[in-house]
Structure 1
Amino acid sequence: MEHLIAPIAKELNISVNQIKSTLALLEEGNTVPFIARYRKEMTGGLDEEQIRVISEKYEYQAALTKRKEDVARLIETQGKLTDEIKAQLAACTKLSQIEDIYRPYQQKRKTRATDAVAKGLKPFAEWMLTLPKQGNVENEAAKYLNEKVTTAEEALQGARDILAEMASDDLEIRKKLQDSMNNYGKIVTKEKKKHEDERKVYKMYYDFTSRVISIPNHCIMAMDRAEKEKVITVSIQFDEQYCINWAIRRFTKNRESIVKEQIEMAVTDGIKRLAIPSIENTIRAELSERAQKSSIDVFSMNLERLLLQPPMKNKTILGFDPAFRTGCKLAVIDKTGKMLTVSVIYPHQPNARVQEAKRILLDLCTRYPIDIIAIGNGTASRESEKFVAEFIRENKLNIAFTMVSEAGASVYSASKLAREEFPDLHVEQRSAISIARRILDPLAELIKIDPQSIGVGQYQHDLPASQLKQRLDFVVSKAVNLVGVNVNTASPELLKNVSGLSAASAKSIVDYRDSNGGISSRKELIKIPKIGAKSFQQAAGFLRIEDGSEILDRTSIHPESYDAAYHVLKELTVDPQQIGSLQAQEKAAGADREQLMKVCGLDEYTLNDILEAIAAPLRDYRDSYDAPLLRSDILEMEDLKVNEKLEGTVRNVVDFGAFVDIGMHEDGLVHISNMSKEKFSHPSEIVSVGDIITVWVKKIDEEKQKVQLTMLEP
């Protein structure tokens, strides 16, 4: 196990013991959120991402070790395993390197070389490798003529085919080619004569060159897609002749020989016909894998920030789902997310019943104490935003509006879950409710939608589906457990993502609370069917009971630490009923932590968590992020001036920059080059989805209705 862990520790810059403890906890069936929150003393405070990476890298190291053992065994069965091969296998850090070592020994499908061997020409090829100085090659070839090989040229061709495959399989030659392509090669793309790219989506790649070693991930993704759609061809160009000459010298050892010309022909053929296409495919696959991993990282990071947007607590919200022909669907929800009413208006063409629309909207604003109008950002969104801004201004209402991403709203609205929740409503009306709820409590609403439908990634349809799903499911689980859930109000969709729970146990909790009028304490959870001791241990700390019989049930303190928490409260002379008060905050802040650790027998991590919970029992992790940007007026393209200062919301972060909603029809792009004067490697180091940022207008393209932005003050 030690040899598997050491490379991971070095790569992640953490101790071997931290990895051992983490793997042991995972082996015992503990979830990542539980380990990250309640076993910090064992992992040295590793977070969810570090634990996930440890698990993934350990699995890869285990697979690498198993493949090394398998290849060594397979070579040994042929009686060809040497100390040199053992050392080469031991040094491998990638599966592709192991396959290159195994290549000369693996059973091959029928090739020109295997065909030549079957015809009895292997001894002839081996004779050539002795580099004879005297004699006649044709005369030697004549010795190998038989019913399958009828001419000297056929014998020579067969021997060259065998030598060509040997050159292609040679480990050092393959390393040389790989090094040349990776470090000195260029990716070159060319436009195909006939293709379907009417909108010139891939115009940048019609004639594009980039060094292999430094090509950006988003360029790889774009090229892969353009190649798949048969718009371009992609190749790697490098100094082939240098590598061929190097390989020839390796085979001829710079000696003069009567077979030198034959060997030169064979090696050249082996490299051009066999090795280069094979290695180019490997490098292209590794580049694609790297780019896909980066895209999955970006997608998961964006999704996490979207899920963790701060809720607009205690607000009555009107959801506004824009459309032209079919009308704009409206839905009012109260401060708990309960639907109060639905309606429809037709403020836009082709119907354009503007005054009637304003009357209906005013009636809703008069009947209900609406604080915010949440407008979906789909079709007719900016026209609807203009209509709403004008309506608020005309009626002098103290109401703000905000744009809300409606990605996935239609998916939810047509789902079984939405039909069960609102069986009497149309799909569009359900969508308006979803849009409103997305700012009341983004996590609780977005959890109902397949993460892949939320639309905060790049090239998501080109990513390996299973890897993407696994990673996004992890992000959803991480977000839910970071925030915690109210066990008496959470939906089954929210509950099933809690550490230690499943869809079945989540339904069991909902059924139990419906039958018993609620759950009054965490202890009561153990009575619920499908909640065993392990499930209780993993889930209890993330399930909150705000008005229960046990005051600590409202906090993030785990029941296993209640005795210790009461001991801390006693030492601080804080009454349990006072947790969260100003006095409790002051006592927690001024505590002698070293003394408390000794007296209460606690480790540093658990004590810090207890003190934090005593000071802020209902703290919401999401409050540290920017709340949605509320507006009361709109921005038109003609209003904009170059160098004008604006505030906007980051909607999506990608490899080449960030898209920012500044209130225009289309989001503006801040290119990576316009983000910071400091050195950084990815836009995610500068901004995140949901951030409210200051930008300046860099360029206005009125024809395309696009705006380029900069975060660098002019």
Structure 2
Amino acid sequence: MVQDLNQAVENEANGSKVQLSEEQKAQIQERILKQIAAELKLPAGKVKTTMGLLDEGNTIPFIARYRKEMTGELDENELRDIEERLQYLRNLEDRKLEVVRLIDEQGKLTDELRASIEQAAKLQEIEDLYRPYRQKRKTRASVAKERGLEPLAEWIGKQHRQGSLQDEAARYIDLEKDVKTAEEAIQGAMDIIAETIADDAKIRAWVRKFTHDQGLLRTEAKDKAQESVYEMYYAYQEPVRKLPPHRILAINRGEREEMLKVGMDVPVERVHEYIARQWIKGPSVVKDVLLAVIEDAYKRLIAPSIEREVRGELTEKGEEQAIKIFAENLRNLLLQPPVKGRVVLGVDPAFRTGCKLAVVDDTGKMLEIAVTYPTPPNNKVAEAKAKIKQLISKYEVQLIVIGNGTASRETEQFIAELIAEVKERKLEYLIVNEAGASVYSASKLAQTEFPDLDVAERSAISIARRLQDPLAELVKIEPKAIGVGQYQHDVSQKRLDENLKAVVESAVNHVGVDLNTASPSLLSYVSGVNGTLAKNIVKYREENGKFGSRKELQKVPRLGAKTYEQCVGFLRISGGGHPLDNTPIHPESYEVVDRLFKEQRLELAQLGSQQLRELLQELEPAELAPQLGVGVPTMRDILDSLKRPGRDPREEVQAPIFRTDVLQLEDLAPGMELDGTVRNVIDFGAFVDIGIKNDGLVHISQLSNSFVKHPMDVVSVGDIVKVWVLGVDEKKGRVSLTMKKPQ
């Protein structure tokens, strides 16, 4: 590859991007393939096939579902890992070529340097190697070079055993170049050497690792008298290598809010000793000068930049974990079971402006909007009860859903009293997380959907609908506005958006989408479909009526053959012309189903019947697959889809807890047993809704009797769990819970 780089640089003209031959590209591709396979511990053949499928424009959900034979059944997570590493390593190769070109243009590229760049495994290593050749702003070393002191620096670097540094330096006194004394000449030469040491890639790599392994992160308060949430960090220190991700982000936030001062302590003497071993050859007339240069180079040039780099690596570690936590919580929230077949009253609670009400039917259609004022300062309780009872009776409301924002618990108390008074029908209520509802309500999408309503009224509709179909409603909201993470506002928003978009895409395609009812927001997350195409699909539906078949999708403007291939399997048509259009079976496999039914003497009209389900249960995918000319994984998926056409995988998840009465903080006592819903999972535990104002915390140490590496190994957002009260802090409104059954 060294020769390949050399040739690529020689072929380079006018400083434009390096051009590679097909052979060079193939060699780079092969090296990337081997590296990804080794890193992810996956067979090279599976990785190679996945890389090819990605390069052809296939999406991850499509590959995971419909190309299982080709990838050896790699799951979505494995596929995304390959995609992420592929992008990084390709960027790495591009940067290698660019750095080689830039150094070569300066006439300073050696075979040894070229080989070092080629062997670099990280972008940081390449940047370290490029550092000495990078154009710098004015520095003490560059000023010294302008004054002609580079030869003196070289003389010092030779470390003569005899001679006089003062005499040698006197030769460089030059008033025109502003070198007035020998001491000034020596200082300039020392500055040049200090910068050379600081730019040495090997030294930087060693100091960076040493700082990470042996460094101590230290924090202190800027003002100890000021109360804040950062008080535990007012006089705090911890080894850099042991800092957990959530603590890194907490310290960063405290520093950013100017509550904390953060520094790093490193055993300086050991750093000096290491650099001296690299630079000092033995006794010489300049040994003491070089020792002073080493101290200056580390203190002034190396330590500040390495500390920034190590802090940057720590932040990246914290961000990766925060994004991972958010992504996993979001996926579990999106895949909460829909509550179907109920007329719902959505309540957006408030104090001064009143509680906005929205009645929606069992399909999510808005029936009526109203506003009541049962909470302070208005306290129009009787009037509010009369209005809500009238709505309940008029529309046969079965479920009341309350947003968890301002005045939610006061509204809950009011609703619980009202339910007790309604004897003629069974009524229940539920408090839902309304995070992001206001974001949606003020969006252009909401304005288009409900142009005649105000923001709060739209919010009440959103609150009701997110119980009926959480996925369909939550996709209308920017993912990061859904509050199920930790420190999501402190991480790289670009990376967060990319990861959360992938999560929503995965959830949407896992569930499938009804082509005749889906909103543009929902459709835009379907494999291969972008925002423009989603709008085109809805426009076509509005102009031509419901889709009668999946094939009709091909008539949608700008929806080409590749997009059709990617998206069609994830789109469902209920009651259409072809029974298989309401299953996850891809149209490319319809012929396989036809042959299967013909051989087994079955009819498509039997689809969904118990009789067909029992007959299919007896068939063996491994025996059928070779007979029908498909792979076993595809055959298995086809049989599963035929057994349960129109199945919603979310229905297998536990339904939410509905309540009829309120639990107060004062009602709690240690040892009390409760059922709760996990609302958020973070690094140090899980927050559980037990029906009081604030969610209770189950610390990681209280999740199980056995060791728990991470809370997500035990619980997920939406889980219904049994908990026991450990303690109650009425002053702070906090409850600590345990999932360990008391003895």
The answer to whether TM tops 0.5 is yes
Contact 1:572 1:587 in 2 (8 A): no
Contact 2:700 2:708 in 1 (8 A): no
User: Is 2:183 the partner of 1:153?
Assistant: yes
Instruction: Give me the whole-angstrom Cα distance separating, in 2, the residues matched to 1:231 and 1:551.
Output: 63
Is 173-182 or 570-579 further displaced after alignment?
A: 570-579
For residue 270 of structure 1, what is the aligned residue in structure 2? Answer: 297
**1:619 is aligned with what amino acid?**
R
For residue 219 of structure 2, what is the aligned residue in structure 1? Answer: 189
**TM-score, normalised via structure 1 length:** 0.96
**Within-5 A mapping of 1:283-682:** 283-396=310-423, 397-682=425-710
Structure 1 residue 64, shift from structure 2 partner: 1.1
**1:566 is aligned with what amino acid?**
D
Q: CA 1:21–1:392 in structure 2 vs 1: closer, same or farther (change >3 Å)?
A: same
For residue 174 of structure 1, what is the aligned residue in structure 2? Answer: 204
Structure 1 residue 464, shift from structure 2 partner: 1.8
Instruction: Give me the whole-angstrom Cα distance separating, in 2, the residues matched to 1:129 and 1:415.
Output: 66
User: Is 2:168 the partner of 1:140?
Assistant: yes
**1:182 is aligned with what amino acid?**
H
Question: Alignment partner of 2:554: what SS?
Answer: helix
Is 125-134 or 614-623 further displaced after alignment?
A: 125-134
Instruction: Give me the whole-angstrom Cα distance separating, in 2, the residues matched to 1:549 and 1:300.
Output: 38
Contact 2:701 2:708 in 1 (8 A): no
Is 553-562 or 287-296 further displaced after alignment?
A: 287-296
Q: CA 1:90–1:696 in structure 2 vs 1: closer, same or farther (change >3 Å)?
A: farther
Instruction: Give me the whole-angstrom Cα distance separating, in 2, the residues matched to 1:76 and 1:413.
Output: 57
Residues paired across the two proteins, number: 711
Instruction: Give me the whole-angstrom Cα distance separating, in 2, the residues matched to 1:221 and 1:367.
Output: 51
Is 584-593 or 67-76 further displaced after alignment?
A: 67-76
Query: Could you give the per-residue CA deviations for residues 268-302 of structure 1, whole angstroms, max 9, x where no partner exists?
Result: 10011101111111111111112112212222222
Instruction: Give me the whole-angstrom Cα distance separating, in 2, the residues matched to 1:250 and 1:524.
Output: 72
**1:523 is aligned with what amino acid?**
K
Question: Alignment partner of 1:187: what SS?
Answer: strand
Question: Alignment partner of 1:67: what SS?
Answer: helix
Instruction: Give me the whole-angstrom Cα distance separating, in 1, the residues matched to 2:139 and 2:368.
Output: 72
Question: Alignment partner of 2:732: what SS?
Answer: coil
Question: Alignment partner of 1:602: what SS?
Answer: coil
Instruction: Give me the whole-angstrom Cα distance separating, in 2, the residues matched to 1:89 and 1:677.
Output: 51
Aligned-residue CA RMSD (Å): 1.9
Question: Alignment partner of 1:424: what SS?
Answer: coil
Query: Could you give the per-residue CA deviations for residues 431-476 of structure 1, whole angstroms, max 9, x where no partner exists?
Result: 1111110101111111111212222222222222222222222222
For residue 257 of structure 1, what is the aligned residue in structure 2? Answer: 284
Q: CA 1:214–1:573 in structure 2 vs 1: closer, same or farther (change >3 Å)?
A: farther
Structure 1 residue 204, shift from structure 2 partner: 1.9
Structure 1 residue 84, shift from structure 2 partner: 4.0
Structure 1 residue 240, shift from structure 2 partner: 0.9
Instruction: Give me the whole-angstrom Cα distance separating, in 2, the residues matched to 1:100 and 1:504.
Output: 43
Contact 1:659 1:670 in 2 (8 A): yes
Is 577-586 or 176-185 further displaced after alignment?
A: 577-586
Is 512-521 or 304-313 further displaced after alignment?
A: 512-521
Instruction: Give me the whole-angstrom Cα distance separating, in 2, the residues matched to 1:525 and 1:146.
Output: 82
Instruction: Give me the whole-angstrom Cα distance separating, in 2, the residues matched to 1:511 and 1:115.
Output: 66
Instruction: Give me the whole-angstrom Cα distance separating, in 1, the residues matched to 2:51 and 2:367.
Output: 50
Contact 1:480 1:498 in 2 (8 A): yes
**2:397 is aligned with what amino acid?**
I
Query: Could you give the per-residue CA deviations for residues 85-138 of structure 1, whole angstroms, max 9, x where no partner exists?
Result: 344334422211111122223333221112112222222222222222223221
Instruction: Give me the whole-angstrom Cα distance separating, in 2, the residues matched to 1:351 and 1:233.
Output: 47
Question: Alignment partner of 2:724: what SS?
Answer: strand
Instruction: Give me the whole-angstrom Cα distance separating, in 2, the residues matched to 1:110 and 1:194.
Output: 39
Structure 1 residue 340, shift from structure 2 partner: 1.7
**2:326 is aligned with what amino acid?**
F
Q: CA 1:171–1:497 in structure 2 vs 1: closer, same or farther (change >3 Å)?
A: closer
Is 441-450 or 351-360 further displaced after alignment?
A: 351-360
Contact 2:125 2:201 in 1 (8 A): no
Instruction: Give me the whole-angstrom Cα distance separating, in 1, the residues matched to 2:705 and 2:81.
Output: 31
Mind listing any 5+ residue stretches in structure 1 that lack a counterpart?
Answer: none
Structure 1 residue 380, shift from structure 2 partner: 0.8
Instruction: Give me the whole-angstrom Cα distance separating, in 1, the residues matched to 2:546 and 2:278.
Output: 79
Instruction: Give me the whole-angstrom Cα distance separating, in 2, the residues matched to 1:467 and 1:700.
Output: 38
Structure 1 residue 83, shift from structure 2 partner: 4.8
Instruction: Give me the whole-angstrom Cα distance separating, in 1, the residues matched to 2:93 and 2:690.
Output: 52
Is 599-608 or 445-454 further displaced after alignment?
A: 445-454
Q: CA 1:528–1:116 in structure 2 vs 1: closer, same or farther (change >3 Å)?
A: closer
User: Is 2:741 the partner of 1:710?
Assistant: no
Q: CA 1:509–1:136 in structure 2 vs 1: closer, same or farther (change >3 Å)?
A: closer
For residue 149 of structure 2, what is the aligned residue in structure 1? Answer: 121
Instruction: Give me the whole-angstrom Cα distance separating, in 1, the residues matched to 2:452 and 2:110.
Output: 74
Question: Alignment partner of 2:723: what SS?
Answer: strand
Is 623-632 or 209-218 further displaced after alignment?
A: 623-632
Structure 1 residue 316, shift from structure 2 partner: 1.1
For residue 232 of structure 1, what is the aligned residue in structure 2? Answer: 260
Structure 1 residue 174, shift from structure 2 partner: 1.7
Instruction: Give me the whole-angstrom Cα distance separating, in 1, the residues matched to 2:148 and 2:545.
Output: 86
Instruction: Give me the whole-angstrom Cα distance separating, in 2, the residues matched to 1:250 and 1:460.
Output: 43
Is 124-133 or 237-246 further displaced after alignment?
A: 124-133
Structure 1 residue 519, shift from structure 2 partner: 1.4
Q: CA 1:100–1:359 in structure 2 vs 1: closer, same or farther (change >3 Å)?
A: same
Question: Alignment partner of 2:676: what SS?
Answer: strand
Is 207-216 or 360-369 further displaced after alignment?
A: 360-369
Contact 1:180 1:239 in 2 (8 A): no
Q: CA 1:258–1:555 in structure 2 vs 1: closer, same or farther (change >3 Å)?
A: same
For residue 23 of structure 2, what is the aligned residue in structure 1? Answer: none
Instruction: Give me the whole-angstrom Cα distance separating, in 2, the residues matched to 1:365 and 1:502.
Output: 40
Contact 2:224 2:234 in 1 (8 A): no
Contact 1:572 1:588 in 2 (8 A): no
**2:738 is aligned with what amino acid?**
T
Instruction: Give me the whole-angstrom Cα distance separating, in 2, the residues matched to 1:370 and 1:202.
Output: 47
- Percent identity reads 50
For residue 162 of structure 1, what is the aligned residue in structure 2? Answer: 192
Instruction: Give me the whole-angstrom Cα distance separating, in 2, the residues matched to 1:199 and 1:572.
Output: 75
Instruction: Give me the whole-angstrom Cα distance separating, in 2, the residues matched to 1:334 and 1:663.
Output: 26
**2:657 is aligned with what amino acid?**
L
Contact 2:416 2:662 in 1 (8 A): yes
Contact 2:440 2:459 in 1 (8 A): yes
**1:609 is aligned with what amino acid?**
D
Instruction: Give me the whole-angstrom Cα distance separating, in 2, the residues matched to 1:162 and 1:209.
Output: 36
User: Is 2:54 the partner of 1:38?
Assistant: no
Mind listing any 5+ residue stretches in structure 2 that lack a counterpart?
Answer: 1-28
Query: Could you give the per-residue CA deviations for residues 473-531 of structure 1, whole angstroms, max 9, x where no partner exists?
Result: 22222221111111111122222222222333323322333333311111222223232
Instruction: Give me the whole-angstrom Cα distance separating, in 1, the residues matched to 2:462 and 2:107.
Output: 67
Structure 1 residue 22, shift from structure 2 partner: 1.5
**TM-score, normalised via structure 2 length:** 0.92
**Which residue of 16, 21, 24 corresponds with 2:44?**
16
